[in-house]
Structure 1
Amino acid sequence: MKYSFTYIIGCLLVVHIANGQTLADYLAEAEKNSSEILAKQLQYESALEKVNEVGSLPNTQLGVGVFAQAVETRVGPQRARFSASQKIPWFGTLSAKKENARLLAKAKESEIDFLKRQLSLNVKIAYYNLFELQQKLKITQQHIEILDTYEKLALNELENNRTNMVDVLHIKMKKNELQQQFQAISEDIQSQKAQFNLLLNKPITTEVLQLDSLEIAQTTLFTTVETVANHPKLQQLDAQEIALQQSEIVAKKEGNPTIGFGLDYVLVAERSGIALPDNGKDIIMPMVSVSIPLFNKRHIAKQKQIQLEQEAIIQSKTTVKNQLLIALQQAKNRLKNATESMKTQEENSLQADQAKEVILAAYQTAKMDFEQLLALDQLKLGFEMQKVKDVNTTLVSMAMIEFLIAN
């Protein structure tokens, strides 16, 4: 599968899970369990059955009549009449209706493809959001542990009269803030897990695999042309437009005459007391009829209606295509900005570590500057949190691009 970008992407993120279910497993499970996709699939199968329905001839009419008072003829009285008739649409009408129903079913099929792609995108976004929260929880825990170390160091310095109680209390306050943040993220994770399970149509209490690793693979992707022409939403509109063109053909053919074929069979009793040729001979009468639509304004109005619907579909295609292209451009911009921002956060984190090393190295000969340590730690926490957010933005943007242009 190739993606078309107008710029070079130097960093593609791929989630690797150590054990258990992968994202691909979750995607397959979500599609299998989706009640919405199942409902659309049943509607599609129903639409396929419509092909057989519209391709059938009208009901054959059968009739039986008994003369309450015999009608005398030269060869005897008529006792009963049996009739059968069948109407047949104009040549090609049934085949045109079948093709129209098939094309309408194809539009339903494109709708199923869109729902599958939309579900895939939603599952990926929920998956990446959960990963982001879990990484933030891990980072917060690490910084709480760092503050524990600072607190012990500050208490030790306090005992040696090399610091004051203000530094100790300041560290405690920062740690309290992080512990409260840790609790809030934990609750967000439970909420996100519930949403993720609902997307998979599973009980909200079902445990979700803890995502614990992220590998950054360096790659270069660049081509010159991107297209949204294969998006199911556009394919659905294409199918609807073709179906409407076929509906117009059907409407024209329905304006043609209808031919009917029939047969009457009349029972004739013999005349008594007289010898006649063909005495009591039954009557067989084949019939042909033609139904002519002399007043065909209804069919003309229907054709005009279908033509207007076709024009509406063409306008809708233009609107949808523009919306998809806008979404594609926005996703590409977010991807590019997030990729660049990740590099910046990595550099900032390294510089914060270097600054901390300088302060800790000075501790051997001078008084510990806890204020600067806390400030640097707060900066690094912000850098790490932003990087995790950028990772999420990158993954979601890649998923959105795939949603928009992948075959």
Structure 2
Amino acid sequence: MKINLKKFKSLSRINIGETLFVLFLILFGFNGKAQQLESYILEAEKNNPEIQKFELRFDLASEKVKEVNSLPDTEFSAGYFISEPETRTGAQKARFSVRQMIPWFGTITTRENYASAMAEAEYVEVSVARRKLALSVAQSYYRLYSLKARKEVLIENIELLEVYRELALNSLEVGSASAVDVLRLQMRQNDLDQQKETIEQDLEAEKVNFNNLLNRKEDLEITVVDSMAIPNEAVMETLTVAEVHPELLKFERLYESINEAEALNRKDALPKLGFGLDYIPVAERTDMVVDENGKDILMPMVSVSIPIFNNKYKSVTRQNEIRQKEILSQREERQNMLENLLASAVSNRRSARITANTFIRNIKQAKDAEEILVKNYETGTIDFDDVLDIQEMQLRFQTGLIEAVKNYYQQTALVNYLTN
């Protein structure tokens, strides 16, 4: 059996060399990768039903500003005297009334401020939902990259094992290898085939998840970059959670809305004014002549509503104070959680870089070991136990490198979520 050593060396370079140098270069089309991911995020924001839900809530809260910018309903009433009361100028036939209550000066403006504060709080919820969606899309995208890259590495290793198997068959013919070596290589190929099929299933499931995040058909094709690189130089990472982060800004808006609610409560505790007008038509007297005979009655009216028993308003004030203290505690708790999350993300990103650099060195050494195996085959000797050991280590280093790159970018996405 004739073995194509040129093919063997070529596969070797693809398998090890390509992965080795990918992290040392800003890969071609890296900016394109960022633009591509950004386009997916924009599509998700446009189509995602959760974003639409929060936007509708904001629209509803904004509409309430118009709702509160109005006076109480005007009251109209009419009555007919069945038994007509007699007066000096004639009998009263009916009564027509109109009433309008007016809240204390500035109450309507205070209500508008409260409704606007609640709308702002809803808008912050929209910002939080958008950020979380962008993070979820990015995390899923990087998982897709990892699964796709691992599948390609497995295919390359399966092809490399096929070349090794041909070497073993050739060595078997000349008596320098045993049938057990051939079978072991075949079993290793079968194992990698099984791993590849498992990854293909995981890849399909992740595609469904990604398309669902974009709220589109589950079977639509997704374009994922072939390779990604960790930047050459580590960024000086003195990072803190953004002061205006939406998850924290949400509590500030809620705190402000309670301030406005308390201002409205104080206005509601003030007297309310009412203005009205009564009109009573009067019939002319026919039995005698009097001054202003049959003159209709027109009676303006003013009323005042005074909350004498105001324990209700005092209780609302106390409730608002308690709610504000609760919101401050919730904000502090959330900020601590976000800072812990940021510290963990920064640490994990550093670990991913260190891990990647270690795998790069190991891949280089695996390549050197492989070259020694090739030279041994050219001299007529080869240890297929070493072949399997090197191949197994090589695969572990390659997949480990892919996972390190994925983890680096997933943690970077989380850091960006927390700090920007």
TM-score normalized with structure 2 length: 0.91
1:143–1:348 distance in 2 versus 1, CA, 3 Å: same
Unmatched tracts of structure 1, length 5 or more: 1-9
Distance apart, 1:340 and its partner CA: 1.0
Which of 269-278 and 76-85 deviates more? 269-278
The Cα offsets for residues 164-202 of structure 1, whole Å up to 9 and x where unpaired, read as: 111111111111110111111111111110111111111
Partner AA of 1:91 in structure 2 = F
Residues 308 and 12 of structure 1: is their aligned pair in 2 closer, same or farther, counting only changes over 3 Å? farther
The answer as to whether partners of 2:230 and 2:408 remain within 8 angstroms in 1 is no
For residues 41-91 of structure 1, give each alpha carbon's deviation from its aligned partner in whole angstroms, at most 9, with x where no partner exists.
111111111111122110000111111111111111111111111001111
Residue equivalent to 1:108: 122
> Match for 2:59 among 36, 45, 49?
45
2:164 pairs with 1:153: no
Matches of 2:31 and 2:242, distance apart in 1:
31
- CA drift of 1:13 comes to 8.0
Of 30-39 and 220-229, deviating more is 220-229
Is 1:236 equivalent to 2:250 in the alignment?
yes
The aligned counterpart of 1:315 is 329
Q: CA deviation at 1:231?
A: 1.4
Task: Return 134-143 or 223-232, whichever deviates more.
Answer: 223-232
With over 3 angstroms needed to count, the CA separation of the structure-2 counterparts of 1:259 and 1:20, relative to structure 1, is: closer
- Paired with 1:356 and 1:12, the residues of 2 have a C-alpha distance of 24
Q: Which residue of 1 aligns with 2:142?
A: 128
AA in 2 matched with 1:276: V
Retained in 2: the 8 A contact 1:11–1:219? no
More strand by share: 1
1:195 corresponds in structure 2 to: 209
* CA deviation profile, 1:215-247 (whole Å, cap 9, x unmatched): 444355336452332211111110000000111
Q: Provide runs of 4+ in structure 1 moved above 6 Å.
A: 10-15, 17-21
Counterpart position of 1:36: 50
- Amino acid in structure 2 at the alignment position of 1:394: Y
Q: CA deviation at 1:362?
A: 2.4
User: Distance between the aligned counterparts of 1:123 and 1:16, measured in 2?
Assistant: 18
CA deviation after TM superposition for structure 1 residue 19, in Å: 9.4
Report if aligned partners of 1:134, 1:211 keep a CA contact under 8 Å in 2: no
Q: 1:213 to 1:118 in 2, by over 3 A?
A: same
What is aligned with 1:325? 339
For 1:393, the equivalent position in structure 2 comes to: 407
Contact 2:151 / 2:196 at 8 angstroms: preserved in 1? yes
**Aligned pairs, how many?**
397
Q: Distance in 1 between matches of 2:201 and 2:408?
A: 24
Q: What is the CA–CA distance in structure 1 between the aligned matches of 2:30 and 2:200, rounded to whole Å?
A: 22
Confirm or deny: 8 A CA contact 2:79 2:95 kept in the other structure: yes
Residue 207 of structure 2 aligns to which amino acid in structure 1? K
SS in 2 for 1:276: coil
CA pair 25-261 structure 1, distance change in 2 beyond 3 A: same
CA–CA separation in structure 2 for the residues paired with 1:176 and 1:18 = 37
Give the match for residue 284 of structure 2.
270
Q: Does 2:315 correspond to 1:298?
A: no
2:387 maps to a residue whose letter is L
User: What CA RMSD, in Å, does the superposition of the two structures yield over aligned residues?
Assistant: 1.9
SS at the partner of 1:268? coil
**Cα deviation code 1:352-389 (max 9, x no counterpart):** 11011122212232411111121011111101111100
Asked if structure 1 preserves the Cα contact closer than 8 Å seen for 2:147 and 2:202, the reply is yes
The farther-off stretch of 176-185 and 217-226 is 217-226
Which secondary structure state, in structure 2, belongs to the residue aligned with residue 214 of structure 1? coil
Q: State how far apart, in whole Å, the 2-side matches of 1:75 and 1:234 are.
A: 73
Residues 220 and 19 (structure 1 numbering): CA distance in 2 closer, same or farther, change over 3 Å? Answer: closer
* 1:281 matched to 2:287: no
Measured in 2, the distance between the counterparts of 1:336 and 1:259 equals 68
The alignment partner of 2:83 has SS state of strand
Confirm or deny: 8 A CA contact 2:33 2:225 kept in the other structure: no
* 8 Å CA contact retained: 2:70, 2:108: yes
Identify the residue that residue 395 of structure 2 maps to in structure 1: 381
Q: State the AA in 1 paired with 2:395.
A: L
Aligned counterparts of 1:136 and 1:332: Cα–Cα separation in 2: 25
Q: CA separation in 2, counterparts of 1:191 and 1:211?
A: 18
Looking at structure 1, the residues matched to 232 and 302 of structure 2 have their Cα atoms a distance apart, in angstroms, of 79
User: CA distance change for structure 1 residues 151 and 223 in 2, over 3 Å: closer, same or farther?
Assistant: closer
CA distance in 1, matches of 2:350, 2:304: 70
**1:349, CA displacement in angstroms?**
0.2
Assess, with a 3 A threshold, how the Cα gap between structure 1 residues 23 and 244 changes in structure 2: closer, same or farther.
Answer: same
TM-score, normalised to structure 1, is: 0.94
What is the alpha-carbon distance in structure 1 between the residues aligned to residue 234 and residue 158 of structure 2?
38
- Separation in 2, partners of 1:25, 1:97: 41
Secondary structure of residue in 2 paired with 1:269: coil
Unaligned 5+ segments in structure 2 are: 1-22
CA distance in 2, matches of 1:160, 1:110: 75
